[in-house]
């Protein structure tokens, strides 16, 4: 799959888990990482699919705590529009209870979903990924953990 993710902007610069850095990898996908984890995401404009990955590189298990059953949010905005054309949480129901998951060292938590072709007219878009974690190993992130990318549909 071809991922268009060359323009990632990192909104989150630091968390309680250390400084985050942005890295370009050969496939054109960008990622953000700390000493403990890597975060990456992309939109495949041919398949109309997004993918968002959280990879544990800490050498030990990472406990992620969430304030509800919703672990992530993904929104897609058409250039010049204030309302998203797609929002992951729309038409979904999440539990309203605390949730904790453990990701073993070397493992990846992956989220992906197809986007309805009818939502995407030709034009320029921004996709925003947010990990809705309230704590990582008992530490609250200092800022939201978010990535943003730009892509075009022809």
CATH code, domain with 76 = 2.60.40.2360
**In a domain? residue 42:** yes
In a domain, 143, yes or no: yes
Whether residue 128 is contained in a domain is answered as: yes
pLDDT digits 0-9 by tens, 95-149: 999 999 999 999 999 999 999 989 999 999 999 999 999 999 999 998 899 999 8
| Domains identified in the chain, total number | 1
Reported as a single tens digit per residue, the pLDDT across 9-35 is: 333 333 344 455 555 433 336 678 899
**CB–CB of 57/38 below 8 Å?**
yes
Residue 80, domain extent: 9-153
64, 101 Cβ separation under 8 angstroms:
yes
Q: Is residue 2 part of a domain?
A: no
pTM: 0.81
- The Cα 46–Cα 154 span in angstroms is 10
- 10-37 per-residue burial string, b: 16 or more CB within 10 A, e: under 16: bebeebebeebeeeeeeeebbbbbbebb
22: tokens are 């942005």
Whether residue 33 is contained in a domain is answered as yes
The verdict on residue 1 lying in a domain is: no
pLDDT digits (tens, 9 = 90+) for 56-67: 999 999 999 999
Is position 13 within any domain? yes
51 or 19: whose pLDDT is higher? 51
């Amino acid at each position: 799959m071809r991922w268009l993710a060359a323009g990632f902007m990192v909104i989150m610069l630091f968390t309680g888990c250390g400084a985050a850095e942005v890295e370009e990898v050969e496939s054109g996908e960008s990622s953000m990482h700390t000493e403990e984890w890597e975060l990456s995401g992309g939109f495949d404009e041919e398949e109309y699919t997004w993918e968002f990955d959280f990879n544990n590189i800490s050498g030990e298990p990472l406990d992620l705590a969430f304030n509800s059953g919703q672990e992530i949010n993904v929104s897609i905005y058409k250039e010049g529009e204030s309302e998203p054309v797609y929002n992951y949480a729309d038409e979904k129901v999440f539990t309203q209870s605390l949730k904790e998951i453990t990701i073993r060292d070397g493992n990846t938590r992956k989220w992906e979903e197809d986007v309805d072709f009818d939502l995407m007219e030709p034009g320029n878009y921004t996709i925003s990924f947010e990990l809705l974690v309230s704590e990582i190993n008992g530490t609250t992130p200092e800022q939201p953990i978010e990535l943003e990318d730009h892509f075009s549909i022809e």
